Amino acid sequence: MQSGYQGLYDARTETIYIADNLTPTQYRCVLAHEVSHAKHQDKGGHSDRYTEQRADVEAARMLISQADYVTAEILYGNDECAIARELNVMPWIIRAYKNWLHDSVAA
């Protein structure tokens, strides 16, 4: 695994690589993100902003139920770190989920 990467999808070999030094919460979030890349056969690496945002949103939707999110937001308000702890995900997953909610309401 390249330094600085937590996960990687190799479209050529259809393989997902995950760093071996992640916490269980990091692991599940990174794996969900890379599964999205695999689902779409993304070849662009981590430099394509669109595919990264899509993978973040899809990972968030895989890992968070709307009912659980609503409950956590009622309990913790806008505290993304507290919501993330409650839902056993990383804060970037919460931000992606909030962006998806915002975009789905705006559409």
Q: Let me know: does 96 contact 60? Beta carbons within 8 Å.
A: yes
Please write the tens of the pLDDT for every residue from 36-94.
999 999 886 666 888 999 999 999 999 999 999 999 999 999 999 999 999 999 999 99
In a domain, 84, yes or no: yes
Residue 24 CB contacts under 8 Å (≥ 6 apart), including other chains: none
In a domain, 2, yes or no: no
Phi/psi of residue 7, nearest 5 degrees:
-155, 160
pLDDT of res. 29? 98
In a domain, 16, yes or no: yes
Cα–Cα distance, 21 to 87 (Å, whole number):
21
In a domain, 24, yes or no: yes
98 has pLDDT over 80: yes
Range of the domain at 101: 7-106
102 has pLDDT over 70: yes
In a domain, 1, yes or no: no
Question: Structure pTM?
Answer: 0.90
In a domain, 31, yes or no: yes
How many domains does the chain fold into? Answer: 1
pLDDT of res. 4? 78
pLDDT of res. 104? 77
